[in-house]
Amino acid sequence: MIEKNHMATYAVIGDPIDHSLSPNIHSAAFRELNLEHSYIAYRIPKGELEEGIEALKKIKIAGFNVTIPHKVEMMKFLDKTDESCSIIGAVNTVTNDNGTLKGYNTDMDGFLDPIKKKEIQIKGRKILLLGAGGAARAIVAGFAKEHAASITIANRTLENAKKLAMFSEQVGLKSKYVKIDEVGGTAKDYDIIVNATSVGLKNEPSPISLEGISSNTIVYDIIYMPMNTDFLKKAKEKGAKIIFGYEMLLGQAVRAFEIWHGMEAPYNAMKRALLGGV
């Protein structure tokens, strides 16, 4: 066990990184608990990850978050991996214990967190997942863990959907895959619909039609900026229960905080920082 440093430095690495909300969220938590730590955003371009990590070790970084484009490549630089990270094959949270780096993936727990808080049952439910990238993989692992009945993966590139469907079967979740433009009017056949594509980041229209869904449908967008995507607006119009992307962001940050600091995270202070943009 390392001696706890009272003025430790944490970071988020990625590229682009200047719009990351993680420094706000974690700094708010430190203020709330009177901790003297700091949390910085550090831009590491693609291809420069190894040098970047050496630099972080030199400043004795206590821990860091990893975001696009390094979540998968970072796996190579870990000394230890938590199960969450080895199953998903990507890392978003790292601890540094005197130069020994251990990786975790808090995206899955972060994704599940708002569903659990709202007491929504996943077990036995039919899922439609849009997208087949890194985030979608953590989501599939989450639905498998919670025993959903089946998942349909809809993606622009069918080959990526097929790969993710195979992963789903490996982790015990029955799956199908389709091209996203072939979803047509089938959204109403599902209990939970999740957008894990990047469609909406630039205010694009919803990637699928939500015709026929009802107040029993759960619609979850993992995009948090903008908060009200067209996908969620359309879902709201139909009276569906919606879950915002910021709720997942908050969930993964809370989990990372608890891994690093071994204490309960100040959820409300972190939420205020996120929504108030403090």
Name the site residues for ligand ATR (rule: CB under 6 A): 68, 131-136, 155-157, 160, 180, 196-199, 207
Q: How far is the CB of 265 from ligand ATR (least distance, A)?
A: 23
Please report, for residues 92, 101, 186, 243, 276, the alpha-carbon distance to residue 229 in angstroms, rounded to integers and kept in the order given: 24, 37, 20, 11, 18
DSSP H helical ranges for 72-192: 83-88, 107-117, 134-145, 158-170
Cβ distance to ligand ATR smaller for residue 96 or 106:
106
Q: How far is the CB of 194 from ligand ATR (least distance, A)?
A: 12
Q: How far is the CB of 17 from ligand ATR (least distance, A)?
A: 15
Output Rg (C-alpha) for the chain, integer angstroms.
19
Q: Which of 4, 58, 60, 71 is catalytic?
A: 71
* Active-site annotation holds for 71: yes
Cβ distance to ligand ATR smaller for residue 53 or 222:
222
Nearest residue to ligand ATR, using CB?
133
Q: Rounded CA gap, 151 and 143, in Å?
A: 8
Cβ distance to ligand ATR smaller for residue 23 or 207:
207
Q: How far is the CB of 90 from ligand ATR (least distance, A)?
A: 8
Cβ distance to ligand ATR smaller for residue 190 or 231:
231
Give me 277's structure tokens. Answer: 């943009």
Element spanning 100, H or E: strand 100-104
Residue 246, Ramachandran bin (φ over 0: left; ψ between -120 and 50: alpha; else beta): alpha
Task: List, by residue number, the catalytic residues.
Answer: 71
